[in-house]
Structure 1
């Protein structure tokens, strides 16, 4: 490992709020973190050696230049990111800096779902049927190829934003119009410019969905954890109930072998890696998407707690060229406890959003409030906002898992201080929202 105080560049235009665990690991490794971000609140964060505030709406190319400059000025051996929208700029800057394990072409494939589909097909890896579309929309040939119902999604989105299950040609057209508006807006750093093809229309896979996180060391993929997900019975892919461990070693082995084939085809040597998969109607897993980073939120910390493997630490040590890291990655616990992440969706104006009485529960692990008081939040289809992310722990009992930990999550959720007033609520004489009107609380909307 590098000596204490060794500098690294961390590029996170946004997304810092749900990466506290990732950043704290860098601090625990005694690294001097030089942060590039658009988030004003990071300016006075003592965890960072320096903070360079970027202009709002910094493009990928501009970010690449700023990272390249920071690598030289700080003497950092490499840059890293935990944010999906920044992997391309970081990969290009690392390559320019001479980082031998950097694979910017793989980062570029991972960032564009149309390129992902082409890559998977070319390498004989299981993926949904698809068509990449642009201004001409979903003509009859497209819908005939993928079938109805089908899924419409942005090629460069994140966090399931504007991903919709459609059942008719008219719904497909409306969903594509919404994706085009998103792409033209430049919001969330999804698109700097509008490409010729900005949406995917793809086969709907109706089975179980999982997300897999791990680390690549010397070209070999080492599994961190496989989270099962619960998705609502609606056209919108609002994720909920990320549960760990998966509990079936056979499934973990099957997914690991599939991911290793992807890693080898991409030529990755050292990298974090995430893959989302779904079962088709025959029960076979197919790759929905993948990325050269790991999940945010509580996923990383929960993998560390459940499987006693620290993906960020292993990645950083391997990136510095430390030996013996692969052996450490193989020393993975099958399941020390069970964890569940509950996604808190609401519609209205946030009155309060905090831990409340939940912190007193022995099952409580953490809560990330993602919406401020006074902020308007909207769930699908009007928006894709999250009030927060709740994480809970429970004993790992395979005969009861995962339903047991889901029940625990619902119980702890009711103890959060999450109050959301209806739209149109009036302020009282103090300027506060009049919460005498019915407000949303209790269990999250599914």
Structure 2
């Protein structure tokens, strides 16, 4: 490749255990250039080059992108980092490249704005109100009806999302959601959304949008726990999932993307399958987290990183036909209490027994705290497969039972933040 052939700009990357497979997949489709907040390390083997820049500084990223474009053609822009989707959208717009559109990405990033837009368009939504203090949160919950869900305005991965069944719980949930909102973008700090609690299974659908046309790629079935929180304990993708042909679901997804005027990009839509039909929980303007695109690759044969590159280039994605039906899932291991890690022992990777991966996410000496002190406090994950959801669940059960954590209880003092 010569410099004249151009690159696709990847803004940020994420943690290696969660995102390396996407970078490898993307690199197999087209030469990449990465903007990162620190010098590249493990990413170097997948990219043509890199630029160190404050990836949260929109103006700095756009300036760096224009400088890069003077050296070699920049043909597309993408990110799979939730915190960077707005920066990426503005960068694509500034360079005149395919992107979701500035208004569309706000329709993903700002959950309050998203609710307003989707409701106005007639897309099924829970009842909701945005509030700025405890008293208004309680009043909103009483109007909506208990139980309610209280969540931050601009975070993902169910961080700070709490179910509340009475006024006292709403006050606690509001304070937890508002506090955790402070780790996110300044534009979405403070206040919280109070929403109707939706009964029914929760799914997510990763999809590609080219010139406003939405295409669903794979469906993940979510397992949550740690009530009243919504920690995501696992996901499973069935390559033969009947939901991929469900007209009501697909129409709802297409209508939601049209409503926010999403033009080019990858999305991760979360929905509840309720008695009144599928209801959009949120639309995220990037590929799913929690290794869901990896499960999708195993289960369907679709290369999500490569599809993301195609879409960033503004072309219809090339999708390899699926082979034999597979169901592939991931389970995350959480500690039973706040602790300091001594060691993690993992099961052997054994595809013959349906165990495709087993990875530790912590090292000796790491501190772990459960919600509401911390969210996504996981010490390991396993990926398992089967010919159908039942066999997949059995493989995951067996693998998860073999994970061992040795740890000491964490005792916090006022001086250490406890």
TM-score (norm 1): 0.82
Query: Per-residue CA shift, 1:307-343, capped at 9, x if unaligned?
Result: 2222332332243355xx36x55x7549621111102
> 8 Å contact 1:14–1:38 — kept in the other structure?
no
Give, in whole Å, the separation in 1 of the partners of 2:3 and 2:355. 36
Displacement of 1:247 after TM fit? 3.1
From the superposition, tell whether residues 193 and 224 of structure 1 become closer, same or farther in structure 2 (CA, over 3 Å): closer
Candidates 356, 362, 376, aligned match of 1:365? 356
> 8 Å contact 1:67–1:79 — kept in the other structure?
no
> 8 Å contact 2:13–2:79 — kept in the other structure?
no
Matched, 1:48 2:47: yes
Give runs of aligned pairs for residues 288-299 of structure 1, distance below 5 A: 288-299=281-292
Alignment match, 2:402 = 415
Query: Per-residue CA shift, 1:176-201, capped at 9, x if unaligned?
Result: 122222233xx2xx123565x63111
Matched, 1:340 2:329: yes
From the superposition, tell whether residues 216 and 13 of structure 1 become closer, same or farther in structure 2 (CA, over 3 Å): closer
Name whichever of 293-302 and 308-317 sits farther off: 308-317
SS of alignment partner, residue 44 of structure 2: coil
SS of alignment partner, residue 19 of structure 1: helix
Matched, 1:274 2:264: no
> 8 Å contact 2:3–2:71 — kept in the other structure?
no
Query: Per-residue CA shift, 1:255-310, capped at 9, x if unaligned?
Result: 22211112223333321111100133x25221100022111332112212212222
Candidates 109, 112, 136, aligned match of 1:111? 109
> 8 Å contact 1:106–1:266 — kept in the other structure?
yes
Alignment match, 1:9 = 9
> 8 Å contact 1:211–1:275 — kept in the other structure?
yes
Give, in whole Å, the separation in 2 of the partners of 1:107 and 1:194. 14
Displacement of 1:12 after TM fit? 1.4
Displacement of 1:91 after TM fit? 0.2
Matched, 1:82 2:80: yes
Displacement of 1:361 after TM fit? 5.2
Matched, 1:376 2:370: no
Matched, 1:386 2:349: no
Displacement of 1:124 after TM fit? 0.4
Alignment match, 1:29 = 29
Give, in whole Å, the separation in 2 of the partners of 1:4 and 1:314. 23
Give, in whole Å, the separation in 2 of the partners of 1:207 and 1:403. 20
SS of alignment partner, residue 231 of structure 1: strand
> 8 Å contact 1:219–1:268 — kept in the other structure?
yes
CA RMSD of aligned residues (A): 3.0
Displacement of 1:172 after TM fit? 1.1
Give runs of aligned pairs for residues 173-184 of structure 1, distance below 5 A: 173-184=171-182
From the superposition, tell whether residues 194 and 272 of structure 1 become closer, same or farther in structure 2 (CA, over 3 Å): closer
> 8 Å contact 1:241–1:406 — kept in the other structure?
no
Displacement of 1:389 after TM fit? 2.9
Alignment size in residue pairs: 407
Q: Which has the higher contact order (CA 8 A, sep 6+)?
A: 2
Give, in whole Å, the separation in 2 of the partners of 1:364 and 1:141. 49
Candidates 244, 253, 258, aligned match of 1:259? 253
Give, in whole Å, the separation in 1 of the partners of 2:91 and 2:105. 12
Give, in whole Å, the separation in 2 of the partners of 1:45 and 1:250. 36
Displacement of 1:419 after TM fit? 3.4
Give, in whole Å, the separation in 2 of the partners of 1:171 and 1:65. 46
Give, in whole Å, the separation in 1 of the partners of 2:38 and 2:360. 16
SS of alignment partner, residue 228 of structure 1: strand
Give, in whole Å, the separation in 1 of the partners of 2:78 and 2:270. 22
> 8 Å contact 1:150–1:203 — kept in the other structure?
yes
Alignment match, 1:431 = none
Alignment match, 1:192 = 186
Q: Which runs of 5+ in 2 are unaligned?
A: 413-418
